[in-house]
Amino acid sequence: MSTSHQHTDRLGQVIGRVLRGGETIALYGPLGSGKTALVRGIVQGLGASPMTVTSPTFVVIHEYDQGRLPLAHMDLYRIRTPHELESTGLIEYFSGQTVTAIEWADKGRAVLPQDRIDITLNHRGARSRSIQVRATGPKSDELLARLRIQYSKTGGIHRVSPHRALNREATTRL
């Protein structure tokens, strides 16, 4: 549970610090749930200025390369068709060292890498939100393990609920 923008920012910073390059972070949640705030923290955790991070709703992709790893911040909110999705160049970012953070990732689910981190943010009253982090494969499972360790050092994990299904999913609620 996150009770402030600072908690969401702190989680983002820890995610940024544990990234190794090439990860995909799929972000889900309603408007105003903190997706861009989380990306702002990730950018800061990568060592870049969070002040430049804004929602890429109208331009679809913002690139940040001032930190230790490049990050492509995408927003698929306005994507309506598979052709529009293809024309974004989204798939090109899934190779190499670029970290991709994708808001409204449900609109690109068909092309997302199978091994990724899914983060779902939801409102829980006027002043708090729930944040669920889920690994979907071996690389993201390792990232989630590093995240649990580092985030718990900040006193941030309220409830950890790891469960492994046949598809190796692991979930942490923050």
The pLDDT assigned to 152 comes to 80
**C-beta atoms surrounding 118 within 10 Å:** 21
Q: What is the mean pLDDT of residues 14-19?
A: 95
With tokens 């598809």, the residue in question is: 167
Report the C-alpha gap between 62 and 51 in whole angstroms.
Answer: 13
pLDDT value at 45 more than 90: yes
* Backbone torsion region of residue 17, taken as left when φ is above 0, otherwise alpha when ψ lies between -120 and 50, otherwise beta: alpha
- For residue 104, what is the DSSP state? T
What's the CA gap between 90 and 152, in Å, rounded? 33
Residue-by-residue DSSP string for 32-81 = TSSHHHHHHHHHHHTTS-GGG----TTTSEEEE-SSSS-EEEEE-TT--S
Percent residues over pLDDT 90 in the chain: 41
Select the highest-mean-pLDDT range: 19-33, 118-132, 139-153: 19-33
CATH top-level class of 5-173? alpha beta
Parse the chain into domains and list their residue ranges.
5-173
- The predicted pLDDT at position 61 comes to 84
The per-residue pLDDT for range 83-127, each reduced to its tens digit, is: 788 888 888 888 889 999 999 999 988 889 999 999 999 988 777
| Tokens 């002043």 belong to residue | 127
Residues 90 and 72: their CA atoms lie apart, in Å, by 9
**pLDDT value, residue 165:** 35
DSSP assignment letter at 109: G
The mean pLDDT of the chain is 82
User: What is residue 168's predicted lDDT score, i.e. its pLDDT?
Assistant: 38
